[in-house]
Amino acid sequence: MLGRLLSLGLFGLSLCAADVCNPTNLQGPYGFQLSGTTAISGDTQPAASLGRIVFDGQGGISGYSSVMFAGLLLGNPVTGTYEARPDCTVTWSLQDDSGGFQHFSGVITADGRRMRFRQTDPGGVRDGLLQRTSDECTVSDLRKQYDFSLSGSYTPMMPGDIPAKVDATGKMAADPYGSFTLNRRGGDGAPADVALDLESDCVVHLEFTLPAKDGQAALPLNLRGILVDGAREILAIATDPGWMLSATFTGQ
């Protein structure tokens, strides 16, 4: 009995230790993805954003953010401030070049590599993921295969357009020459070719046609993403007008 109590006590201590963070671990470049619905402008609408921000280790933030809202893609440089605490909670605010502020809160892992967060402004988007990225990326960093999942909705932009939704999973894989193709799980037809353009700051542009499934037409998509966690993952959003769509590619 005493041994069991000691074991439980040590387990409890390990849990407590896991809740202690060194605030200086939150430093350097990170990529983030934020998706869901927002009511900040009044009516509840879907939104998706992607960004790359740098924590300077002294409470300051710089970077840029792309936001898909009301069917339109808006991109802005951002600056801000942050506070990282020993209990692993982090709060920060960002200001874009129009003067608007946004506020966020999350809990980071003890190693400072990954954080789930939400926007704390009333009506803000609640499902966010922030992960460390590299100072610089090259094509050789890419994994040979990624599992992907993507989901979202289409907001009509022109008369005659109709709302639509998409939810898909599958694989994106490279051939021996480094060209990628994409297979949709349960999809109809052949794999789709992927045009991939990687910028030095780890931002990646993906263009492909999502294969048809269950009678639904094939869907041309353009995604803007960022390589995170040593290129083991790509966080992305659609940049096509009308599409509020987020995607995650996980390396195998």
- What's the fold here for domain 23-132? Porin (2.40.160)
**The predicted structure's pLDDT at residue 23:** 96
Tally: H helices and E strands in the chain: 1, 16
pTM: 0.89
At the topology level, CATH places domain 139-251 in Lipocalin (2.40.128)
Please, which residues bridge with residue 31 across strands?
52, 131
Domain ranges of the chain: 23-132, 139-251
- b/e code 132-144 from CB counts within 10 Å (16+ = b): bbbeebeeeebbe
Phi, psi (degrees; rounded to nearest 5) at 32: -135, 155
pLDDT at site 3: 46
Per-10-residue mean pLDDT of the chain, 252 residues long, equals 44 52 96 88 82 97 90 89 98 91 96 96 91 97 98 90 94 95 94 97 98 92 97 97 95 92
Task: Indicate the helix (H) or strand (E) that contains 8.
Answer: helix 2-18
Residue recorded with tokens 């840029």: 64
Note the pLDDT of residue 41: 66
Q: Are 250 and 233 within 8 A, CB to CB? A: yes
Same fold, 23-132 and 139-251: no
